[in-house]
Amino acid sequence: MLRFDAVGLHYPHGAGSGPEVLRDLTFAVAEGAYRWLLGPSGAGKTSLLRLMYLAARPSSGALTVLGADIATAPRRALPALRRRIGVVFQDFRLLAHLSVFDNVALPLRLDGRGEGQIRADVTEMLRWVGLAAQFAATPAELSGGEQQRVAIARAVIARPALLLADEPTGNLDEAQAERLMLLLRELNRLGTTIVVATHNEALVARHPAPALRLDHGRLTELG
């Protein structure tokens, strides 16, 4: 599912390349696995997730995502892979001018699903995350926690093979966080591979699972 082989990443900086943010990462995440991604701020968690959701390509080493060799895959092969990956961003990344409904429906529309199926699926999903009444609201009219739930709904609506989440409980209260964990567990049980980056040690303690721990761009623990 995910295979890192001596992967390094540095972002371009001016004419040359900036400091290396990830170094010599070698690990694999099997299909259907669940992994916590842990480490202090600035350890490289977000950069590692960016590699996984194909927002960046490795500067060195070999990376396989969903069976495709990302370092060598042609650019035109990436959109189809991205549609099989769901991402919950730390800053939500919702489209401000679209309604909650249209935000959640976006992955289905990009995938070319019929409007009838989209209406049924999105309505069901919004009911599940408790936002059925706010389907016509724009993100700006929602609280942080509600926006986060919209982001989660958008990430899972297309039943991705790989689900990545960056601090998905950051704006949720404990009950909502537990509800989210229930959803993630359920998706995982149905076969979705899941990687969740978090600072929430209490959450990790309540839901023990293998972990990838990063420090200064290096892997210090391989669960």
Partner 1 sequence: MVARARLRPAGFDELGLRRALGFGMLPLLVAAMAFLAALALAGWVGAATLARHWQTGAGAALTAQVPNPTAPATGRRGTRLDAVLADLGTDPAIARARALTDTELTRLLRPWLGATPASIGIPLPAVVTVHLADPPPAPAALTALTARLARDAPGTVLDTEGDWVGRLLALARSLQASAAAALAVVVAVAAAVIAVATRAGLAARREAIEIIHGLGATDSYIAGRFAERASLLAVAGGVAGAAAALPVLLALARLAAPFAAAPATPAQAGFLAALPAPLWLLLPGLPLAAAGIGFLTAQVTVRRWLRRLP
**Which one, 83 or 218, has the nearer CB to partner 1?**
83
- Closest approach of partner 1 to the CB of residue 202, in Å: 30
**Which one, 38 or 58, has the nearer CB to partner 1?**
58
**Which one, 36 or 92, has the nearer CB to partner 1?**
92
Q: Which residue ranges make up the site for partner 1 (CB under 8 A)?
A: 53-57, 75-76, 78-85, 87, 93, 95, 97-98, 102, 106-107, 109-115
**Which one, 83 or 159, has the nearer CB to partner 1?**
83
- Closest approach of partner 1 to the CB of residue 19, in Å: 20
- Closest approach of partner 1 to the CB of residue 181, in Å: 24
Q: Specify whether the CB–CB gap between 2 and 29 falls below 8 A.
A: yes
- Closest approach of partner 1 to the CB of residue 108, in Å: 10
- Closest approach of partner 1 to the CB of residue 82, in Å: 4
**Which one, 13 or 76, has the nearer CB to partner 1?**
76
